[in-house]
Amino acid sequence: MRQFLLFIFVALLLSACGKYEQGPELSLRSKKARLTGDWIPQSYAYPVDYEGDSINFASISFDDEGKISWNYYENGEFEYLPGTWKFSGKKTHLFITLVRALFTPDKGNTPVEGGEVLPPSFEYIDITWDIIRLTKTELIADHVTRKGNIRVNFEKQ
């Protein structure tokens, strides 16, 4: 009876593992623990007929409370976008929401309308990633766009 219960336990344990196309099959670290940290993109793979904007980020940081820092270059300038992240129910997808300030008083670009200063304005950017591989040092994800998926390989810092 003990051996049968052990067999059932091991079978259930192994069937719960290996959610990602490229593994790992088994990990003692939770998916959240593996994702948390600073990631540097190593390579990008665009679809052959892709005609959208290219991705130009320098690093991404995920914390264990669901916050993200998206650091990138635009027109030769280093930019930073804060936001939030969460896994899908089965933890095979990552949902990211970034917040970009369109104009704020601290940037000195707050518009004035009729003599009154308008409140800050923000743009919310929703991003979906299909997770292909997630280990403690490697993340491979498909950045889902309307014009095709972009595969990004990250290495943990």
* Mean of pLDDT over the chain: 81
The answer to whether residue 6 scores a pLDDT higher than 60 is no
Please report the pLDDT score of residue 9 as a whole number. Answer: 57
Give the residue among 114, 38, 124 at the shortest CA–CA distance from 81.
124
User: How confident is residue 147, by pLDDT bands cut at 50, 70 and 90?
Assistant: confident
Cis peptide before 105 (omega within 30 of 0): no
Catalogue all structural domains in the chain, each as residue range(s) with its CATH number.
2-156 (2.40.128.280)
pLDDT at 139 over 60: yes
Stated pTM of the model: 0.75
- Report the pLDDT value the prediction gives residue 137, as an integer from 0 to 100: 96
Q: What is the pLDDT of residue 110?
A: 58
